[in-house]
Structure 1
């Protein structure tokens, strides 16, 4: 008997995404290769095979309105099969159900708290539509606890007595580069291995079925798709993509490149080749201070700054460097986030953080002091500490978030606890409008460097902003900060913005020793 295929995947990435055996799949790339159709087909491929109500899936987006397109596509695809599937369209349902018991839900979620609507449920198939819309990995990773099934093949033999394969547990996401979650998605899927290369993570776990320890390997992969694979696309659509003026968006959507800054507040002004410079000894007349944004469950940020006063500095190659008075150079950083993680704190006490700051202050000034025992014991969990001993002659107190001065009844403030370790701060500028004002001044300082390269002297005419090249944590986080969608002049505060807060405090800070700064 001849059978006619109801739906057939396109050759290339779409077919590969359906046959891939990995537990965690990201189908990413340009606009238009058929990623959404592949996600829907990925779930549908196991309907009617014998899993029944055990084959249960959910596909997430961040908002209800964003589900419209994928629901529409599901109606076009699933009705082709003519297998009795029904779509339940009420706001409380939003699901496909099959006569054989399978069901696929469409839901929205993005906050860590949204997970609790699904806690304890079984979803062997979990999908995320446009994963880079997820601001962090929190909700995504928490849903893994629902990626499970109580199905046992031996309990549900087929009519002929044979056993079906164990039910697969999988997370299948689609996305383009770009979006508020660009950084964490890139770190999870793109940076560890080339596209198409399976990432394997093996751990020893107790298997309740065999009652012994066994090695279990979880697999993860990114599959790259291109609009060039889709013969059904209208060339006018391609022309529309090619006409995109934003260079980062065009690079992401047309080339599928992850080497972009995504809708950034500062990406139009950031130039790593100009703003990132090699370290040099800080002249004694320049002010060196530090800024601080507190965090415990979330990262803290300690940043050390040199503020130029108009006198020359000598570069390692002997050349002179003389930015205008008021120019800032980030010279060192200590970011309280475990290595390899995103937006997670060290849960270090304020006392121990202060001991670390005091030690770094002394090391930057060239003092040969022993590392505090509390810091030494923390070992590799210290996060990102990038310093150059002896780079300056001393460190002064700088601005910190005013929240560290808050106290409860009969409690010492974080600032009080730090002061006991010899670390004091100056309250940061938190006046109305300071957030946007700080962003505007920072943008002006970035622009001053770019404009300075166009002058005969090659130096900025207004206060500028530079970063020492070893401050790789700051460099990886600040240029990708996304604009606030409701207030484009501000930074979206739902991001990993702790370094930005510390930077903003410093930009707005005006030490008395430096003359007035004019922009």
Structure 2
């Protein structure tokens, strides 16, 4: 070919570019380029979250993360699945794939009923949905994927489905002379910092890490010949912004920049994980700067009680609360005088396994303690509180608990063992909570009213405050969502046990007989 013909050929090739990653205007690699790079065998990071602002090209990258290995010699062993929580939510991704794949891979075919692409060299990409964990067995158990993609990861309330799908990341490929490398098995997830699953995604990928920091998780495996080998699983969160994406029109960028709601703007434009999702139950009335206070010694005239939500395979939670009587205290040189009846959550014990750094090992996992050991643990925690902030309260009043701990109390003329009796033997006594019809709505509304009164500094309505040492409660409240079927109540979900313990306290009416009997 002549040099002139070669130039025309190159020019035509440039004009035929179907898709290319965005470029960093300041030099260096763009977020999309990094995303594709960590999917290569030589620079592989197995688990990646691509997050940030809306319009940064996450969905296209999810498709191209798979497409970059089509035709590389792995054939049908390069098998991928892209997931959404609901089937209808897949439509945009499927439509986007029809704009790209046929032009890059002539001969690629799409099966509508199976929602899958088959490529001329044997690779397969499937679009699938999974809303409930029960669907895993029917749709995914026993499958083998080398590429698993989750679009809008925070739409899944917990990590249960995510973890289960990781078990399908495997391959039976054997290296050949033509392709000596193993397929780069990888999990890819896309999301904005918004939605019901925000908390677990943030804890897994964002908390305690610098932006772009690759976390290396060492795992030990036992080989067939009985030897132990150590492997490294790598995880990273990649931040992308709409301002990198030249394919998005200026009107859309201007719309994002002009969002009036500051919370929505922080999340959708700036990709800020620290803002409270305003679709959460208490988002409109949650202000950490007002509600969270440093611990102080509780006056002797304030009432102190404990409340409890039971769990063994799931976490248990005991909360210690103080009720103000109108008496003022001095905290860090300032006078603190909440209205009479205000509640201050002063301590918690959340029964879940922790990592050395104090973080939770696994969401919604309990300690599997016997009731006797659980009671002793709670008592030890209470004694430590009485040696510090509750030093004016040698006796803590029994407050409400999950009513299931009293189950069996009427069996064998009341002599049958119950959880409540076992806890009481360790000195941790409780009374029944209000589990009547409508109590879940009532607790949520009482909480809302107290939060509103607190941030408004209302002088004639009871407030609610939380000591900063109650980390599980303080972390979970902003991530509580409304129940779809009963919007004025809190949706049940993983790690809501601290809320349950607090809800029992909010709806509990202190019996007059307790005071008359001199129970302090």
2:474 paired with 1:475:
yes
2:361 paired with 1:349:
no
What is the alpha-carbon distance in structure 2 between the residues aligned to residue 68 and residue 465 of structure 1?
A: 45
Residue 311 of structure 1 aligns to a residue whose secondary structure is coil
- Which residue of structure 2 lines up, in the alignment, with residue 460 of structure 1? 459
Residue 10 of structure 1 aligns to a residue whose secondary structure is coil
| 1:102-156 superposed Cα distances (whole Å, 9 cap, x missing partner) | 11111112433333232222111111011111111111112111111010113xx
CA contact (8 A) 1:126 1:170 kept: yes
What is the alpha-carbon distance in structure 2 between the residues aligned to residue 150 and residue 197 of structure 1?
A: 31
2:136 paired with 1:135:
no
Which range moved further: 27-36 or 347-356?
A: 347-356
- Which residue of structure 2 lines up, in the alignment, with residue 362 of structure 1? 383
Question: TM-score, normalization: structure 1?
Answer: 0.87
What is the alpha-carbon distance in structure 1 between the residues aligned to residue 418 and residue 132 of structure 2?
A: 30
What is the alpha-carbon distance in structure 2 between the residues aligned to residue 488 and residue 249 of structure 1?
A: 21
- Which residue of structure 2 lines up, in the alignment, with residue 448 of structure 1? 453
CA contact (8 A) 1:364 1:393 kept: no
| 1:279-321 superposed Cα distances (whole Å, 9 cap, x missing partner) | 222222221111111111111111000011223334353x543
What is the CA RMSD across the aligned residues, in angstroms? 2.2
Which range moved further: 404-413 or 123-132?
A: 404-413
2:270 paired with 1:255:
yes
What is the alpha-carbon distance in structure 2 between the residues aligned to residue 362 and residue 213 of structure 1?
A: 45
Q: Offset at 1:10?
A: 1.7
CA contact (8 A) 1:50 1:164 kept: no
- Which residue of structure 2 lines up, in the alignment, with residue 370 of structure 1? none
What is the alpha-carbon distance in structure 1 between the residues aligned to residue 154 and residue 276 of structure 2?
A: 13
2:403 paired with 1:402:
yes
| 1:55-89 superposed Cα distances (whole Å, 9 cap, x missing partner) | 11111111111111111111111121242111111
- Which residue of structure 2 lines up, in the alignment, with residue 434 of structure 1? 439
Question: TM-score, normalization: structure 2?
Answer: 0.87
CA contact (8 A) 1:203 1:215 kept: yes
What is the alpha-carbon distance in structure 2 between the residues aligned to residue 22 and residue 218 of structure 1?
A: 8
- Which residue of structure 2 lines up, in the alignment, with residue 372 of structure 1? none
2:505 paired with 1:506:
yes
What is the alpha-carbon distance in structure 2 between the residues aligned to residue 66 and residue 392 of structure 1?
A: 55
2:53 paired with 1:30:
yes
User: Does the C-alpha gap of structure 1 residues 27 and 363 become closer, same or farther in structure 2, counting only changes over 3 Å?
Assistant: closer
| 1:391-426 superposed Cα distances (whole Å, 9 cap, x missing partner) | 633211101111222349876332233233332211
- Which residue of structure 2 lines up, in the alignment, with residue 174 of structure 1? 190
2:285 paired with 1:269:
yes
Q: Pairwise mapping of residues 38-437 of structure 1 onto structure 2 (< 5 A)?
A: 38-90=61-113, 93-117=114-138, 118-154=140-176, 157-158=177-178, 163-208=179-224, 212-262=227-277, 263-315=279-331, 317=333, 319-339=334-354, 340-341=360-361, 342-366=363-387, 388=389, 390=391, 392-407=393-408, 412-437=417-442
Structure 2's unaligned 5+ residue stretches are 1-8, 24-29, 39-43, 355-359, 516-520
- Which residue of structure 2 lines up, in the alignment, with residue 496 of structure 1? 495
2:20 paired with 1:8:
yes
What is the alpha-carbon distance in structure 2 between the residues aligned to residue 344 and residue 391 of structure 1?
A: 34
- Which residue of structure 2 lines up, in the alignment, with residue 380 of structure 1? none
CA contact (8 A) 2:328 2:336 kept: yes
What is the alpha-carbon distance in structure 2 between the residues aligned to residue 136 and residue 281 of structure 1?
A: 37
Which range moved further: 488-497 or 437-446?
A: 488-497
What is the alpha-carbon distance in structure 1 between the residues aligned to residue 116 and residue 285 of structure 2?
A: 45
Which range moved further: 289-298 or 493-502?
A: 493-502
Q: How many residues align?
A: 479
What is the alpha-carbon distance in structure 2 between the residues aligned to residue 66 and residue 7 of structure 1?
A: 23
Residue 54 of structure 2 aligns to a residue whose secondary structure is coil
What is the alpha-carbon distance in structure 2 between the residues aligned to residue 5 and residue 164 of structure 1?
A: 29
What is the alpha-carbon distance in structure 2 between the residues aligned to residue 36 and residue 100 of structure 1?
A: 24
Structure 1's unaligned 5+ residue stretches are 367-386, 453-458
CA contact (8 A) 2:297 2:389 kept: no
